[in-house]
Amino acid sequence: MTEPILALLKTIVLLFGVVLPGASACVYFERKISAWIHYRIGPNRVGPLGLLQPIADVVKLLLKEDIVPRAANSFFHFLAPLISIAIAVATFAIVPFGHYIDVGGQNLYLAIAPHTNVGILLFLALTSVAVYGLTLAGWSSNSKYSLLGGLRSASQMISYELSLGLALVGVLMIAGSLEVNEIVQRQAAGGWNIFYQPLGFVIFLVAAYAETNRAPFDLPEAEPELVGGYHTEYSGMKFGIFFLAEYAAMIASSAIMATLYFGGYHLPFVPQFLVGLGFETFAPGGLGLALLEVGTFTAKVAFFLFVYIWVRWSIPRFRYDQLMKLGWKVLLPLSLVNVAITGILMLLF
């Protein structure tokens, strides 16, 4: 099978088997976890334990009328949500869910683009372009609330992209590579990056929350001030795509954090122990090891998604001046200090 066809099949499986169901699952678990935090019940009417509630939400959005303001720019009003979801989904291209499976002597790598030698640069480029979706949504709606939300999105995402990018520099210095799979393999050989870059991880975590517009950094859609911010004038499935893009971006950023700081699909000691017991399927290239790696990676991503939801329902929204002060006066200097400390320690040790 040729590489382009194989990459296309992987993309289809990832989109319809992971991203879309994962976003729906995130909506359900966000409601359940928030209810648990607030001593409520959460969804419990549609299907057993409310499991069909996300499907009911999608059907409702599909049946709602798509209203476009008369003075809006209809082309960019339509394009903006597509940009947001496309950028969020494209990020998964560089994320390895496991190493490889030996299929008839051929290595089937568990990633869409497993050997992208500029994988981290591609991730940073995609996060930079993501701002266009929200900004165009605010501008094209021809509404003051939407425009203010779009401007907030632009300033917030640009401010935190600097800290997010600099937080990754320490990881790249240690790994000596921009290829994501190679970064995972270096962690498997020498220890997870969280032990070498704890400050960089904290900076990346906070910046990722701001990049995905999640509470307490959801100023672009602050309903008490801006009604709904950049998506005030959106309805029906266009609004649903923005909603889906937010959760897809959450999953993508959780996958990046798990990959760059927590070893990705690597699980120490367990595969070697199982091979020692005689389970050869857990040797490199075996199906058992591949399933174990995918399960390990999924568990790490699920943990970070839980933290996303936990933070949203525990910490109040920042004021906008506090948001900018944190980005420019706290995170940016700390990220520069982290790069300097990493360089000094690498020279010494």
Neighbour count for residue 334 (Cβ, 10 Å): 18
pLDDT confidence bin for 158, thresholds 50/70/90: confident
At 3 the pLDDT is: 67
Question: What does the alpha-carbon distance between residue 323 and residue 300 come to, in Å, rounded to a whole number?
Answer: 28
At 180 the pLDDT is: 92
At 6 the pLDDT is: 74
Q: What residues pair up with 164 in beta bridges, in sequence order?
A: none
At 71 the pLDDT is: 85
At 197 the pLDDT is: 95
Residue whose C-alpha is closest to residue 192's, from 271, 281, 258: 258
Residue 177 has pLDDT above 80, yes or no: yes
Classify residue 64 as left (phi > 0), alpha (psi -120 to 50) or beta.
beta
Q: What residues pair up with 107 in beta bridges, in sequence order?
A: 102
pLDDT confidence bin for 18, thresholds 50/70/90: confident
Cβ atoms of residues 134 and 220 within 8 Å: yes
pLDDT confidence bin for 194, thresholds 50/70/90: very high
Region 122-132 average pLDDT: 88
Residue whose C-alpha is closest to residue 163's, from 204, 130, 198, 201: 204
Residue 336 has pLDDT above 90, yes or no: yes
Please compute, for residue 341, the number of CA atoms within 13 A of its CA located in the half-sphere on the CB side: 14
Question: What does the alpha-carbon distance between residue 81 and residue 211 come to, in Å, rounded to a whole number?
Answer: 16
pLDDT tens track for 309-332: 999 888 888 888 898 999 999 999
pLDDT tens track for 85-117: 889 888 888 899 888 888 877 888 888 888 888
At 310 the pLDDT is: 93
The domain ranges of the chain are 3-348
User: For the chain, what is the mean pLDDT?
Assistant: 88
pLDDT tens track for 24-71: 889 899 999 999 998 999 899 888 989 899 889 888 888 888 888 888
At 201 the pLDDT is: 96
What's the 3-state SS for the chain? CCHHHHHHHHHHHHHHHHHHHHHHHHHHHHHHHHHHHCCCCCCCCCCHHHCCHHHHHHHHHHHCCCCCCCCCCHHHHHHHHHHHHHHHHHHHHHCCCCCEEEECCEEEECCCCCCCCCHHHHHHHHHHHCHHHHHHHHHHCCCHHHHHHHHHHHHHHHHHHHHHHHHHHHHHHHHCCCCHHHHHHHHHHHCCHHHCCHHHHHHHHHHHHHHCCCCCCCHHHCHHHHCCHHHCCCCHHHHHHHHHHHHHHHHHHHHHHHHHHCCCCCCCCHHHHHHHCCCHHHCCECHHHHHHHHHHHHHHHHHHHHHHHHHHCCCCCCCHHHHHHHHHHHHHHHHHHHHHHHHHHHHHC
Contacts of 294 by beta carbon, 8 Å cutoff, 6+ apart? 97, 98, 110, 265
pLDDT tens track for 205-250: 999 999 888 878 888 877 777 777 788 888 888 888 888 888 999 9
Question: What does the alpha-carbon distance between residue 318 and residue 256 come to, in Å, rounded to a whole number?
Answer: 25
Q: What is the identity of the amino acid at 267?
A: L
Residue whose C-alpha is closest to residue 134's, from 198, 88, 176: 88
Instruction: Supply the Cα-derived Rg of the chain in whole angstroms.
Output: 21
At 8 the pLDDT is: 72
Contacts of 83 by beta carbon, 8 Å cutoff, 6+ apart? 129, 130, 132, 133, 136
Report phi then psi at 100, rounded to 5.
Answer: -160, 165
Question: What does the alpha-carbon distance between residue 164 and residue 161 come to, in Å, rounded to a whole number?
Answer: 5
Q: What percentage of the chain carries pLDDT values higher than 90?
A: 39
- The structure tokens listed for 268 are 């120490």
pLDDT confidence bin for 1, thresholds 50/70/90: low
Question: What does the alpha-carbon distance between residue 22 and residue 38 come to, in Å, rounded to a whole number?
Answer: 24
